[in-house]
Chain A
Amino acid sequence: MPSEETKERIIKTIELGRTVLHYGWIPFIIYIGYTRSNPQPSLVKLITPLA
């Protein structure tokens, strides 16, 4: 059984990971898609709905 201190640390790490994923997941997909796309699209086209 892990000690209280490690438990606390694990909970904090999960909480931090959750926050990072929450704010970073969509930008991460866009970054991956933007850099791997063939041909590479323009940034304006990526963001605006009408272009």
Chain B
Amino acid sequence: MASAPVSVEADPPSISSPSLHSASSSFPLANWYHRFSSWRKTLDLPNPGTVENLQKEVKLTSLNNYFFDGGRADINKTLSASPLFQVTHSFALGSQSAPPSYNFGAVFGSNNVFLQGSIDHEGNVNGRFNQGWSASNVSKIQAQLSEQKGHSMVQLEHDYMGQDYSLNVKAMNPSPLDLTGIYIGSYLQSLTKNIALGVETVLQKPTPDVSESTTSYIAKFTSSDKNWIATAHVQPSGIFQTTYWQKLSEKLEVAADLQMVALPQRRDAIATLSAKWDLRMSTFRAQLDSKGKISAVLESRFAPTFAFLVSGEIDHFQNAAKVGVGVMVESSPLTPEEMGLTQGPPPQL
């Protein structure tokens, strides 16, 4: 960026700055680079978003991250809004898949620092630390700390968002002694205003003398009005995932997801259709998949500080069902009027 003015001065063939002109012509590579980058700037391509957020819209619509069974209670306390400081107590009971648990979480966020931590009743700690250096550079550290040997892990990550590309490098459990661990690098580049293509390489090094790398390819198509997004992620070994998300109206979003595994030892495919309705005081998510599961979650906000959740799932092929009920209580130093102002879409229904 610092060398951009040089190219501006060097481009017009002026006699007033012969030294600059000769300097840039004696480094043709630098000259070409400046021409290339100014040409790239004139294309005015948007940033394609990160590879991690490739399927963000689909994940927010589908209820994989929202489904629960059994009983659940969350108590959320916002102690300060700016900087953000929040503590959470969550209780879960009677789930078919997980034992009863208690979880305490704390979140602190200011303009460029984000700290998050949670601890469960067994003493396992999850931590997250994000540091934003500038608008386009973010470093992230994630850790899972456990008393049990071999359950701890740490992930170091750096995100760089260029004008029309995103770059991300990750290291999972890197050992400074023998460099074992998992290393992931990804790059996503906008080719036109709608299409972005990218690659992701995973290098696995379980022991110092074994290393294995796999590369996968990514494509993302965003419509001009950003109302629908289609993505594809292909691993040449035989794993293929494609998603489609569309915003049908202010209140309704739908998503489709198809995952295919065609490895020599396993052949499998699953398709999922999901929809999300954002109503005035509630959110309803419903999902149907090709394994015969129908599920739905209703989150109903009776008051700005109190929400009630109901969830259910029927597995038609296995003849099984799950039901969940939950409450969410929020307390905040803000008055109810202030919170009412910051709440979702205006009453229309």
Contact = CB atoms under 8 A, between A and B. Distances in A.
Are chains A and B native binding partners rather than an unrelated pairing? yes
Interface of A: 2, 7, 10-11, 14, 18, 21-22, 25-26, 28-30, 32-34, 36-39, 41, 45-46, 49-50
Contact of A2 (B104, B115, B177): B177
A37 B106 contact: no
Contacts of A50: 75
Query: Main SS of the interface on chain B?
Result: strand
Nearest to A7: B177
B121 to A, nearest CB: 13
A18 B145 contact: yes
Contact of B75 (A11, A25, A49): A49
B156 interface: no
Interface of B: 75, 77, 79-80, 82-83, 85, 87, 89, 104, 106-108, 110, 115-119, 125, 127, 143, 145, 147, 152, 176-177, 333
A22 B107 CA distance: 16
A38 B125 contact: no
A32 B86 CA distance: 12
6 contacts: A2-B177, A21-B125, A26-B117, A33-B79, A38-B82, A46-B79
Given A26-B104, A32-B108, A36-B108, A41 B119 contact: no
A30 B106 contact: yes
Query: Main SS of the interface on chain A?
Result: helix
Given A41-B333, A46-B87, A29 B108 contact: yes
B75 A37 contact: no
Contact of A36 (B89, B106, B110, B117): B110
A9 to B, nearest CB: 11
A41 to B, nearest CB: 4
Contact of B108 (A18, A21, A22, A33): A33
A25 B116 CA distance: 9
A45 to B, nearest CB: 7
A21 B177 contact: no
Most A CB contacts (10 A, CB to CB) among B75, B79, B145, B333 go to B79
B83 A36 contact: yes
A39 B117 contact: no
B145 A41 contact: no
Contacts of A2: 177
Contact of B125 (A7, A10, A25, A46): A25
A22 B106 CA distance: 14
A26 B108 CA distance: 11
A21 B145 contact: yes
B80 A33 contact: yes
A49 B328 CA distance: 12
Contact of B106 (A10, A29, A41): A29
Nearest to B147: A22
Contacts of B75: 49-50
A32 B87 contact: no
